[in-house]
Amino acid sequence: MNTPASPLSAAPSGTAVKAVLFDLDDTLWAIEPVLVRAESLLYEWLRTHAPRVTAAHTVVSLRERRMALMQTDPRYRIDLWKLRHAALTEVFAEYGEDLALVDEAMALFSEARSTVALFDDVEPALLRLKEKLTLGSVSNGFADLERIGLAEHFGVSLAAHRFGRAKPDAAIFHAACEALGVAPAAAVYVGDDPHLDVQGAQQAGLRAVWMNRFDRPLPEGIVPDAVCRDLHELHDWLEAQAAPAA
């Protein structure tokens, strides 16, 4: 982890940290294998239940259609569940498949989307952190924290598709802070995306820790309050913030 002397570790704020908010995908688990598996399971289901769709499309071409559809309506950038549902509805209608099956397809995908492998540090670190701090989550995705088994760790869990605003909009960060009863200056946001998570949280008045589990480069002009490779390093950084000045 970056030490206080590092240019990527800002000087401690005068406000004590009272809450930590977490991103989910690529912060608490790796998202790529989850999506690959979920889309593969859905495609195999489509082979049986919507064969005209799979005769015309691959997993890749269905993804390309979905990304094109995202550009047609701003709500699809916020509600990824709605985007997937709309994309399936569109392709089912185009190929004459039973639209009544779209909800079943989405249920299968959503269950697979919430079947994740937590990074090894996540559960022990969350248990340590919540002994002293209030925890929450803010995500643009639609993972089911109850199904994953993490919901009990968080005092609030905001998902963009339910809240109606998505990161980096300050409103979703502020709503999470309000739900936890803390000022933005007393909260730290932890996430892997330099723009959505680091820049977004800082512009909303929170401190931001960049979770860089995959040794990615930091875009020029973005300066997190700290950089961590796992939640144990985050814990150590938070402990350092709480320590009295020498």
Q: For 162-218, write each residue's pLDDT tens digit.
A: 999 999 999 999 999 999 999 999 999 999 999 999 999 999 999 999 999 999 999
Q: Give residue 6's pLDDT.
A: 38
Last residue of a domain, one of 113, 134, 156: 113
- Is 197 within a domain? yes
pLDDT at 245: 57
Residue 15's pLDDT is 85
* Cα 201 from Cα 205, distance rounded (Å): 6
Residues 237 and 132 in one domain: yes
Give dist(CA 29, CA 232) in Å, integer.
15
Residue 3 lies in a domain: no
Q: Is 150 exposed, middle or buried (0-12, 13-18, 19+ CB in 10 A)?
A: buried
Regarding pTM above 0.95, the answer is no
One domain for residues 122 and 215: yes
For the stretch 40-54, pLDDT in tens is 999 999 999 999 999
Residue 146 has, within 13 A of its CA and on its CB side, a CA count of: 2
In this structure, the answer to whether residues 41 and 142 fall within a common structural domain is no
222 falls within a domain: yes
Q: Which domain holds residue 106?
A: 32-113
pLDDT at 3: 36
Residue 220 CA, distance from chain mean position: 22
User: What integer pLDDT is reported at residue 7 of this predicted model?
Assistant: 34
Q: Say if residue 191 is in the same domain as residue 81.
A: no
Low-confidence spans in the chain with pLDDT less than 70: 1-13, 243-246
**Cα distance between residue 142 and residue 191, in whole Å:** 16
Is residue 11 a part of any domain in this protein?
A: no
Name the strands in the sheet holding 207-211, side by side, starting at the edge strand that comes first in the sequence: 156-159, 134-139, 19-22, 187-191, 207-211, 226-228
Number of domains in the chain: 2
Distance CA(140)–CA(18), nearest Å, equals 23
CATH assignment of the domain containing 206: 3.40.50.1000
